[in-house]
Amino acid sequence: EAGVTQFPSHSVIEKGQTVTLRCDPISGHDNLYWYRRVMGKEIKFLLHFVKESKQDESGMPNNRFLAERTGGTYSTLKVQPAELEDSGVYFCASSQGNTGELFFGEGSRLTVL
Amino acid sequence: GENVEQHPSTLSVQEGDSAVIKCTYSDSASNYFPWYKQELGKRPQLIIDIRSNVGEKKDQRIAVTLNKTAKHFSLHITETQPEDSAVYFCAASKGTYKYIFGTGTRLKVLA
């Protein structure tokens, strides 16, 4: 069974540009999460989808970040316009129901120059 | 706000020795404590977890202990092997998937 897949694995953009990260959760997982790790710091929660609905977006840094999950399958996280402090590794994770293991993707490394 | 402190940030041990990573959480309502291992370039993977109604859990060479009173939990790896080299993250949760992670510990097992 395929795990959580993320694309791109690495993106390098200039300040002010736009980047869209994509996450494909494990098939059948209604719960999808975005987390972010800034260099050397903790992995921080950004938001949680249940199917296509945002359950909790309390971790989103500001309105330059927009997450969507149309149709309740894959999700996108758009950063527009990107700032230097947005650099980091963006992890997507999914789970089946409210209990059980949280499965992570390999992350999308974003570098903003 | 809620936070989890994790120590040490780096840890080097000789192969065969034990390694201990410690975490302290701030929210006394936390009741689930998973540990994730991230090998270089790979995804974080759950290696062991513990719930607040249990004081200790063991799975082969790894074990986790929880002290609710002190709000401490620790990961213990015995008989370390080179393949144990990775970054380890502790986390605390109040039963949801809004995990509060520690800053990670880079473990190096020296052959």
Chain A interface includes B99 (CB < 8 A)? yes
How many CB atoms sit inside 10 A of residue B4's CB?
A: 24
Name which of B30-39, B74-83, B91-100 the model is least confident about. B91-100
Of B42, B45, B101, the CB nearest to A42: B101
pLDDT in tens, A18-37: 999 999 999 999 999 999 99
* A100 has a pLDDT exceeding 70: no
For chain A, the residues whose C-beta falls within 8 A of a C-beta of chain B are: 3-4, 31, 33, 35, 40-45, 48, 56, 58-59, 91, 93, 95, 98, 101-102, 104-107
pLDDT band with cut points at 50, 70 and 90 for residue B31: very high
Nearest to A33 by CA among A111, A103, A110, A109: A103
Q: What is the mean pLDDT of residues A59-80?
A: 94
* A104 has a pLDDT exceeding 90: yes
Taking CA–CA distances from A59, the nearest residue in chain B reads: B98
